[in-house]
């Protein structure tokens, strides 16, 4: 039972005893830092039953709680706010139970709900870019948070591996590739295929310009261009299973997948299952007949099928073209039902940018109208776009920020900053390179995740690698500081890990109590982050814990303390905070260095 639950139960008892009423909804909030207290009860809702002034009501309830609740040391009243001070003995006992342990319970209950999280969703015609970075980091972190909060999580990727845009790269390689491969060029496979996607666009624009100069409109030119006709023919061949076209497709997609795997590994994300559009694009057609039979869908005179959502404040949505071909919505409907058949999920979370808000609103509405009970568990984790300061870290094409280049640039910036600050001294070359990667990639991940997903964000690479701000390097430095302190203590204090520091009374300093309370708050933050699918709550909690510890470390003697019991207590407190920092950052996919 949490202390809040204990206080709520005793407050309910107080209201029954004092005023003869039973109230179920009793909530405590964190006390304003300007006043003494740990938890605050707002008494204004109780004035109708107490028939007394706010101060008098708060004093009566506070007196009852103090006399009947051993955990309460004292209380004070500020107008209609009852501030309760929890005893040091309670916090010391709580700390004894968590001392040296992770705050995350790794064991899942047998009845843990299954949550499927989809993220990444790349196209196989180009490398991953800055937008994919936020998408992957967000999806992965939400998955880890949900897992830590007691859910069975299935991480999935849907790869867009077919269609006109894929054929563009294929045709360009056929025409101008001269047999170039990742091995012969030294390029990552996804970069090589992306190169030919750009190549197609360059030649296509030249052909359009030529046709316009011959008197055609731009629209006519785009439809009649030989390159457009060729890729349309290539797509038809692919869909009919033409052997040569399929072999080319498999070869080039294979290059891309190898490239993606390298990027995913560096980014530190993974998947339990990968779906491919080439296997799912025909799904959903059976749903059309089902929807027509239920009267949910309607057929037009041209044989196309649609759903009328005007009464829901939306519009008409075509689900099947007149020629029988499906649209993206049809495919997404089919993929969702396939997943529901494969895995009995309670939630399916789509991690997709906010430009697709309307699409998912329609998708979820259709599935609900079709009567699927599991559709109530569908959720669109809509996130804002990432912007960069003008002129910074542009890709070779000058339009898209490449994920691989971004990560390498972050590591290089971390190396430069770390060397300037002398934080790599005494490390071997391999240790230093690993440190630069941990700092650079940690800075990237933390900066991306500390912002509420719903908000658009400005990513400043240099600002993210600041050892003094709300950044990963600041948190990592404080973790390393704790590790160094423990190593030093082990050299000077024999077996400090084996001594029970709780056999003696410890008088908590104000900051020590605040740190223990901060540790106590972790589970509440974790549950809120899981409920809201918001890693920013974990990121900012971790920063606050690191900041509080940094102040404590500067202001409080630890190894220089004269009393051995206090030294041992402060070492154990430091160690437990270090564990909390590492596990919290792990939920963000960030690795903590052991030395710097």
pLDDT at 208: 94
Domain 114-284+326-383 fold: Rossmann fold (3.40.50)
**Using CB atoms within 10 A of its CB, is residue 106 exposed (0-12), middle (13-18) or buried (19+)?**
exposed
**Structure token digits, residue 332:** 């997404």
Structure-token match 């060729």, residue found = 230
> What is the structure's pLDDT at 396?
39
Q: Residues 316-346, buried b or exposed e (16+ Cβ, 10 A)? A: ebebbeeeeebbebbbbbbbbbebbeebebe
Query: Cα–Cα distance between 101 and 95 in angstroms, integer?
Result: 10
Cβ atoms 552, 584 nearer than 8 A: no
What CA–CA distance (Å, rounded) separates 14 from 6? 12
Specify the 3-state DSSP secondary structure of 92.
Answer: helix
Residue 353: phi, psi to the nearest 5? -55, 160
- Residue ranges covered by each domain of the chain: 3-86, 114-284+326-383, 403-587
Residue 129, strand partner residues: 402
CATH of 3-86, one of 1.10.1060.10, 3.30.1360.70, 1.10.760.10, 1.20.1440.230: 3.30.1360.70
Alpha carbon distance 405, 411 (integer Å): 10
Q: Give the Å distances, CA to CA, from 508 to 20, 39, 495, 573.
A: 39, 18, 23, 11
CA atoms within 13 A on the CB side of 402: 19
**Encoded tokens for 451:** 């912002």
Asked if residues 129 and 459 have their Cβ atoms less than 8 Å apart, the reply is no
Q: Are 552 and 571 in contact (CB under 8 A)?
A: no
Q: What is the pLDDT along the chain (596 residues), one digit of tens a residue?
A: 899 999 999 999 999 999 999 888 898 999 999 999 999 999 999 999 999 999 999 999 999 999 999 999 999 999 999 999 999 999 999 999 999 899 998 888 889 999 999 999 999 999 999 889 999 999 999 999 999 999 999 999 999 999 999 999 999 999 999 999 999 999 999 999 999 999 999 999 999 999 999 999 999 999 999 999 999 999 999 999 999 999 999 999 999 999 999 999 999 999 999 999 998 888 888 899 999 999 999 999 999 999 999 999 999 999 999 888 888 899 999 999 999 999 999 999 999 999 999 999 999 999 999 999 999 999 999 999 888 776 444 443 446 789 999 999 999 999 999 999 888 888 899 999 999 999 999 999 999 999 999 998 888 877 888 888 899 999 999 999 999 999 988 765 655 655 565 656 688 999 999 999 999 999 999 999 999 999 999 999 999 999 999 999 999 999 998 888 888 899 999 999 999 999 999 999 999 999 98
Residue 115's pLDDT is 98
The whole-number pLDDT of residue 397 equals 46
Among 445, 439, 486, 444, CA closest to 467 = 439
Instruction: Round to whole Å and give the CA distance between 426 and 484.
Output: 13
- The CATH architecture to which 403-587 belongs is Orthogonal Bundle (1.10)
Give the CA radius of gyration of the chain: 30
pLDDT given at position 399: 61
pLDDT of residue 492: 59
């Amino acid at each position: 039972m949490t202390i809040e639950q204990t206080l709520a139960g005793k407050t309910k008892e107080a209201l029954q005893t004092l005023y003869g009423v039973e109230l179920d909804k009793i909530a405590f909030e964190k006390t304003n830092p300007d006043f003494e207290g740990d938890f605050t009860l707002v008494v204004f809702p109780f004035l109708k039953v107490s028939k007394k002034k706010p101060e008098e009501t708060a004093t009566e309830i506070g007196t009852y709680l103090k006399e009947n609740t051993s955990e309460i040391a004292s209380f004070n009243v500020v107008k209609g706010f009852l501030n309760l001070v929890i005893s040091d003995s309670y916090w010391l006992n709580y700390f004894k139970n968590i001392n040296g342990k992770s705050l995350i319970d790794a064991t899942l209950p047998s009845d843990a709900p299954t949550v499927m999280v989809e993220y990444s969703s790349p196209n196989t015609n180009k490398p991953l870019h800055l937008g994919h970075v936020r998408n992957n980091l967000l999806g992965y972190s939400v998955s880890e948070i949900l897992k830590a909060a007691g859910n069975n999580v299935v991480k999935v990727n849907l790869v867009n591996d077919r269609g006109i845009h894929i054929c563009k790269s294929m045709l360009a390689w056929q025409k101008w590739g001269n047999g170039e491969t990742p091995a012969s060029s030294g390029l990552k496979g996804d970069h090589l295929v992306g190169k030919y996607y750009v190549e197609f666009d360059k030649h296509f624009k030249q052909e359009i310009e030529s046709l316009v100069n011959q008197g055609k409109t731009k629209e006519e030119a785009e439809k009649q261009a030989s390159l457009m006709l060729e890729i349309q023919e290539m797509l038809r061949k692919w869909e009919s299973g033409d052997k040569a076209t399929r072999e080319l497709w498999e070869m080039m997609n294979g290059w891309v997948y190898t490239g993606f795997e390298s990027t995913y590994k560096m980014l530190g994300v993974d998947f339990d299952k990968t779906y491919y559009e080439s296997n799912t694009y025909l799904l959903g057609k059976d749903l059309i007949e089902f929807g027509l039979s239920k009267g949910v869908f309607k057929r037009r005179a041209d044989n196309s099928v649609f759903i009328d959502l005007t009464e829901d404040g939306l519009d008409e949505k075509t689900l099947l073209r007149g020629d029988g071909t499906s649209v993206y919505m049809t495919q997404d409907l089919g993929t969702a039902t396939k997943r529901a058949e494969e895995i009995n999920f309670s939630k399916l979370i789509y991690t997709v940018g906010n430009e697709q808000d309307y699409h998912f609103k329609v998708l979820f509405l259709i599935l609900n109208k079709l009567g699927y009970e599991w559709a109530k568990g569908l959720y669109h984790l809509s996130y804002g776009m990432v912007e960069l300061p003008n002129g910074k870290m542009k890709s070779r094409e000058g339009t898209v920020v490449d994920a691989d280049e971004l990560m390498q640039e972050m590591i290089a910036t971390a190396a430069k900053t770390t060397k300037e600050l002398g934080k790599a001294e005494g490390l071997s070359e391999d240790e230093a390179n690993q440190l630069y990667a941990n700092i650079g990639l940690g800075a990237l991940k933390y900066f991306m995740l500390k912002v509420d997903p719903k908000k658009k964000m400005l990513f400043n690479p240099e600002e993210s690698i600041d050892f003094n701000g709300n950044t990963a390097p600041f948190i990592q430095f404080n973790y390393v500081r704790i590790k160094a302190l423990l190593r030093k203590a082990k050299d000077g204090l024999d077996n400090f890990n084996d001594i029970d520091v709780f056999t003696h009374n410890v008088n908590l300093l104000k900051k020590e109590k605040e740190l223990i309370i901060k540790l106590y708050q972790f589970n509440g933050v974790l549950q809120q982050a899981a409920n809201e699918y918001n890693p920013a709550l974990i990121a900012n909690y971790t920063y606050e814990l690191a900041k509080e510890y940094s102040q404590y470390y500067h202001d409080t003697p630890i190894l220089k303390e004269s009393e051995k019991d206090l030294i041992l207590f402060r070492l154990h407190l430091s160690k437990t905070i270090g564990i909390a920092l590492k596990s919290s950052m792990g939920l963000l996919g960030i690795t903590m260095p052991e030395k710097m």
